[in-house]
Structure 1
Amino acid sequence: MYFELRLAKNGQAYFVLKAGNHQVVAQSQMYKDKKSALNTIDSIKNGVNADSVVKDLTEEEGE
């Protein structure tokens, strides 16, 4: 996987996470500056907190 750092027409930075086959996996929110986007990329690259919760919204309640 790899990140593409981009600038929107309004000057805000964002990134796209792509798989090895170049398919888009995720796109970030807009950041006011490039540094903020890079900080988020670094956080993702360094891993997520092990206590993070996954909310499965694919199943309806009561199933």
Structure 2
Amino acid sequence: MTYITIDLSDSQFQKLQNLARVHGIATEVLLKASLEDWLNLQKGDFVNAADYVLEKNAELYRRLA
């Protein structure tokens, strides 16, 4: 497992703690879940963009093949 350290302002850390408390989970769990969601969203955006380009240019690719 890899570890990372980040700098947060006191205000950011307090907001993070409050949000975790509201959801009844540890701050670390909230951060890991949020990061996982963000990474998956980025992957989904790339896949959607790639699919769009491939579909848009399908005829061109067929002619060039």
TM-score between both structures, scaled by the size of structure 2: 0.26
Where relative contact order (Cα < 8 A, 6+ residues apart) is larger, the structure is: 1
Structure whose alpha-carbon radius of gyration is higher:
2
More helix by share: 2
TM-score computed with the length of structure 1 as normaliser: 0.27
